[in-house]
Structure formats: structure tokens, C-alpha cells
Amino acid sequence: MRIGLDLRMLGGGSGISRYIGELSKQILTLDKHNQYVLFFNRLDEETRNLYSKFGHKMVETGISHYSLDEQLKLPRIFNKENLDLLHIPHFNAPILYGKKFITTIHDLTHTKFPGKKKAHIFSRLAYNLVMLNAVKRSKKIIAVSNSTKNEIKEYFGVDGKVEVIHEGTNELYQVMDREEALAKIANRLKITKPFILYVGVWRRYKNLPALARVFDRLVDQGLDIELVLAGEPDSFYPEIQEQVLSIKHKDKIRALGRVSDEDLKYLYNSCRLFVLPSLAEGFGLTALEAAACGAPVAVSDIPTLREVMGQGAEFFDPLNEDNMFDVLSALIVNERRLEELANGGLSRSKHYSWKQAAEETIKIYESTK
């Protein structure tokens, strides 16, 4: 088969970008039978060097995701390559592309929590049309969790062609010597106190202001800790940054922006507690990465995170700040429970791998012949 991989969202720092990078590298490493055409937005030297070793054709489209050109010009670029199958690893499949394709749908966050990006009537209409096209016309749909599969069925009435393939963790994220990790972040990031870690974007559904307010109460309680935020604020949601940085103990917040994978490994390995307070997640990869590094994990009690983390995390109600405070305040001073969570999360993380995800994805490609 001649298979196209749409890799245009690589390098954005998002969870989807990480999914595309990790999955594509594993697929290209494992699959020695099919021929691939790799589509990029821009082919910089680093990306070209990374993917040229696989020996497949690379195409620079110059077309970014969520653009008008994605709908109008990209189908012609795809058609030139005479593909038997195209894998679009997000919902943004061009409506005018008429050949066989599969999509990965990570979540229905924009459906459930439109936010400002999809608030304008034109943007909302465009999103609904593109999502409906992806769901209805995909030969197969990959959902990254059973929770996402259930939502696709609930919102669109589609079930039989949806296959669940869980994400994995990069081998970089593993347990290392804690003293070494602490020394690294002290030297590289100037973090020297015990800290709660959050990793992700600053959007409404991530519920970051609630975590900041709960952190404020933890400091008021007498805990000498910091809140470390790794991930970029979203310019569409300036109020999130304003709310987070307006708490009483804002001087104890370390907003690092996007960090390198190496620094993220050190942060995961040295945090007192990793917290993910989201109202919705497609998979919750950062919680799994933290667990793979031996960090104790506390997350929102939502179906996706229950599915992914199982007994490897402590859960709290993300809509109830009193409950979040009670759970975190009891946990952060309980050495025995923190160790139990670290061990449980580490064990849980071993159930997931990108190699397995790639093997299952290749099987889906083959099933569409």
C-alpha cells in the first residue's frame, strides 16, 4: 500500500504534536512492507534529518492546520501522490478530499467546551462541518481512549468503525536518580523547593485557575511549596493567565513556558506531586509520563483519567475546589501514600507503549485494503 501520513502538526508542543511524532516514528521503524508519503507544513533541517533516515518520500506542503488552504489546496497535494490510504491524525480532514482516509480523533473538547476559538459563528460552523466530515467519511476512526470512543458514539451515533488505540510514553521518561534530578532543576531552572507540577496548555478546560486557588490555600495552611507550570499560555485565553497569576501567593508560582523534553524529564522526576485538574481529556498523556518517571499523580475524577490511570493515581472532583484542596492537602504530607502512588503509577505506565500503538495502527491500515 501507498500510505500518506499527515504530519503537519508536528512541532507545536501540543499533545497532538507529541502523538504524531511518537506514532509516526514507530510506524516507520516497524513497517517494512508499505510505502509512505510524509506530508509536512515546513521541512526544516532538524525534521528532514529526523525523517529522511526512514527512506520514504517527504512533501513540504506549506499549508498549516485549521487554515482555508487546508480545505481548498491540500486535497490537490494529497491527490498528486496517488495514495491508497491517508492517515490524518486529527479531525481536520479536508472536506474536498475524496479518496480513502482514516482519522485519529483525540477528544471532543471543542464540541463540549467551544471556548473562544470556536465561539464565532463562522468558526463554529466550520468546525462542525469538518468534524462531521471526519466522522462520517473516515474508513476507520482511531480513538485514543474508550472515553473518546463513547463520546463519538454519543454525539455522532458512530460506533462500529471506531477502534481504540491507547497512546504510550517516550522511553526518555523513566525513573532516574532523584538527587540528580533535583540538582538538574536547581541548576537549569533555579527550582530548589518542593513543588507541585502541572504540564500542559493554559486553556479553560484545563481548569488551571482552580488549581492555582487551591495552591493558594495550601500555602496558607503552612506548606512551603511552589507551583511549577510547564506549558505555554494560550493567547486566546488571556483571562486564564490573569486568574492564575492573581492569587495571593503568586510569587510562589513558577511559570516556565514550554520546556524541553530533557527538562521535562527532570521535572517529572523531582516533583513532590504531579496534578492534572482538567475538566476533559482525550487521554491525559502528561499524567502517564509523570507516572513513568515515578512521580505521585493526582488527577481529575473524569472517565478518561480513570481509564488511563486506574489505581495509579489519586482522584478529586475538578468542579469542587474544597474536595481538590482536601485531597491534595492530605496527600502532599503523607509520605507513605505518595510512595504508594508513585509505585502504582509506575506499574500502570508499563501497560502503554508507542510501539504497541504503532503495531495496532498498522493493522488498521492493512484492514482497509
Q: Which residue has the higher pLDDT, 218 or 66?
A: 218
Q: Which residue has the higher pLDDT, 115 or 211?
A: 211
pLDDT at 75 over 60: yes
Q: Would 69 be classed as within a structural domain?
A: yes
- Are residue 56 and residue 154 in the same domain, yes or no? yes
Q: Can you give the residue range of the structural domain that contains 12? A: 2-168+353-367
- Give 117's pLDDT tier (boundaries 50, 70, 90): low
For residue 317, the SS3 value is coil
DSSP state of 312: G
Residue pair 197/276 in contact (Cβ under 8 Å)? The answer is: no
The pLDDT value given to residue 60: 96
- Are residue 147 and residue 22 in the same domain, yes or no? yes
Per-residue pLDDT, averaged over 45-52, amounts to 94
- Are residue 107 and residue 142 in the same domain, yes or no? yes
Percent of the chain clearing pLDDT 70 (strictly above): 97
- Closest to 312 (Cα-Cα) out of 281, 353, 284, 270: 284
- For the beta carbon of residue 55, count every other beta carbon within 10 angstroms: 9
Q: Could you identify the residue written with the cell 463519538?
A: 152
- Closest to 158 (Cα-Cα) out of 108, 112, 110: 108
- For the beta carbon of residue 284, count every other beta carbon within 10 angstroms: 28
User: Would you call 291 exposed, middle or buried from its count of C-beta atoms within 10 A (0-12, 13-18, 19+)?
Assistant: buried
CA distance 129 to 110: 13
- Are residue 236 and residue 271 in the same domain, yes or no? yes
Q: What is the pLDDT of residues 134-154, one digit of tens each?
A: 999 999 999 999 999 999 999
Helices 45-52 and 15-30, axial angle in degrees (round to 10): 30
DSSP state of 279: S
Q: What CATH number has the domain bearing residue 248? A: 3.40.50.2000
- Give 233's pLDDT tier (boundaries 50, 70, 90): confident
- Are residue 164 and residue 26 in the same domain, yes or no? yes
Q: What is the pLDDT of residues 1-25, one digit of tens each?
A: 999 999 999 987 678 889 999 999 9
- For the beta carbon of residue 327, count every other beta carbon within 10 angstroms: 19
- Are residue 156 and residue 15 in the same domain, yes or no? yes
Q: Would 173 be classed as within a structural domain?
A: no
pLDDT at 90 over 90: yes
- Are residue 224 and residue 277 in the same domain, yes or no? yes
- Are residue 194 and residue 77 in the same domain, yes or no? no
pLDDT at 232 over 90: no
Q: Would 128 be classed as within a structural domain?
A: yes
Q: Give the side-chain half-sphere CA count within 13 A for 105.
A: 35
- Cα 117–76–63 angle (5° rounding)? 40
Q: Would 70 be classed as within a structural domain?
A: yes
Task: Tally DSSP H helices, then E strands, for the chain.
Answer: 16, 13
- Are residue 333 and residue 254 in the same domain, yes or no? yes
- Give 116's pLDDT tier (boundaries 50, 70, 90): low
CA distance 340 to 323: 21
Q: Would 304 be classed as within a structural domain?
A: yes
Residue pair 17/10 in contact (Cβ under 8 Å)? The answer is: yes
- Are residue 262 and residue 284 in the same domain, yes or no? yes
At residue 3, φ and ψ (nearest 5 deg) are -115, 130
- Are residue 13 and residue 160 in the same domain, yes or no? yes
pLDDT at 231 over 60: yes
pLDDT at 319 over 70: yes
Total number of domains constituting the chain? 2
The pLDDT value given to residue 236: 82
- Are residue 163 and residue 192 in the same domain, yes or no? no
The pLDDT value given to residue 122: 65
